[in-house]
A = this chain, B = another copy of it.
Amino acid sequence: MQTQTETASPAGGARVSGLDDGPRCQIVRTLDVIGEKWSLLVVRDALRGRSRFSEFRDSLGASTDILTDRLAKLVAAGVLEKRAYREAGSRERSSYHLTESGRGLALVAGAMIQWGDTFNPYPGGRSSRVVDAATGAPLRLAFVDESGQAVPDSSAAIVPGPAARTTW
């Protein structure tokens, strides 16, 4: 979903004004990037290593017109990076790879996976797990204090920050 105060970059993608740069609420800002239908699922696939148009299309079952649109928007938002590749005997094509920003969305994906596991599980078991890439040990997502120690979910509170206003 895009906000009414849409952040339409002026053609080049570079921003001009430094003030009033879209909505204040971080959740709304994040949803402006990944809130449209299919966007986060493209990221999910990318986190699993997929990178080609055909891979996304076959995996997601989304129609090609919206896939084209979502890929372009994710590239414009800096979540994906477009690269050229060439398969032997084929013309040059584009592949899409997560940027640092895109890899950061693993936190969002992980949160959804964990919530689903906990509160809305599929009876047949989990389709994804989060593990330590090096050791294979299971990981979970938690709020941690400054020392990196997990605190109970119940002690975390979302409170207004400096830029808060009564109406978000």
Contacts and interface: CB of A to CB of B under 8 A. Distances in A.
Contact of A155 (B25, B132, B157): B132
A148 B156 CA distance: 15
Range class of the A interface residue count: 35 or more
Contact of A115 (B30, B113, B124, B137): B30
Interface string A26-44: 1111110101011011001
Interface in A121-168: 121-134, 137-146, 148-151, 153-165, 167-168
Contacts of A84: none
A127 B164 contact: yes
A125 B24 CA distance: 8
Contacts of A140: 143-144
A163 B109 contact: no
B122 A21 contact: yes
